[in-house]
Chains A and B, each alone.
Chain A
């Protein structure tokens, strides 16, 4: 089993809330944000403050944990012990909050990312 090890770039210069260990790399988060950050009114790139990726690093942790827990519930229902992609898809379909992920989890099964043939949203989707 791999051991946790410090992330380079995180532990330089002491541990504080600012440079303290974040589970996810802030620079990468910022890159992903920039793809959706759009433009300002005068056509310039929208700027992202240093704290925004920090908030996301925590938010993504919470998000991954929640989605995984729900996927695990689907795994258990299938009487298995290994979480697979289909369990994640089930979790997404069963949770209104994750509606925005429907295309993402369906993309793989249909081999493309504009699949619109999934019409049966599932039995418990409105729960």
Chain B
């Protein structure tokens, strides 16, 4: 009974056409919902559908605000800070701190790249207790 989870929604199975593009995949949303209720709780499909719609509205709501901000400041590109600012402005202050940290980590990860070349152990892949770069092969 799995919903259309066509490869994480990277466009490989746009069978629903434009309709699917308006919403985030229901399976992903359902997973987040399930984590938010106790183990004995259940989620009906109509609740998932409803929240799926709410999330798209949430994205639109925040994005409009961010877009207005960019327009006032004569900038062409909406960035992560604009989203965080908009969330704070529209009442979602509780999300702001966590998202600032999340964005900071994302930006730091971006400059260092996925092959972690720094040796301070932050994102090193260790194999048998040794850094992967010194892995000699089996």
Q: List chain A positions with a Cβ less than 8 A from chain B.
A: 2, 4, 7-10, 13-20, 23-25, 27-29, 31-33, 35-38, 40-41, 44, 46-49, 51-52, 54-56, 58-69, 71-72, 75, 81-85, 87-89, 92, 96-98, 100-101, 104-105, 107-108
Contact = CB atoms under 8 A, between A and B. Distances in A.
A67 to B, nearest CB: 6
Given A8-B12, A33-B59, A19 B44 contact: no
A108 B50 contact: yes
A48 B78 contact: yes
Q: Chain A interface mostly helix, strand, loop or mixed? A: helix
Contacts, number: 234
A32 B24 contact: yes
A33 B22 CA distance: 10
Nearest to B105: A17
28 contacts: A9-B7, A16-B116, A16-B123, A17-B106, A28-B21, A29-B24, A29-B59, A32-B23, A33-B60, A35-B22, A36-B64, A38-B67, A38-B71, A44-B76, A47-B78, A51-B107, A51-B110, A52-B79, A52-B80, A67-B54, A68-B43, A69-B37, A71-B51, A83-B44, A88-B47, A88-B51, A96-B91, A107-B53
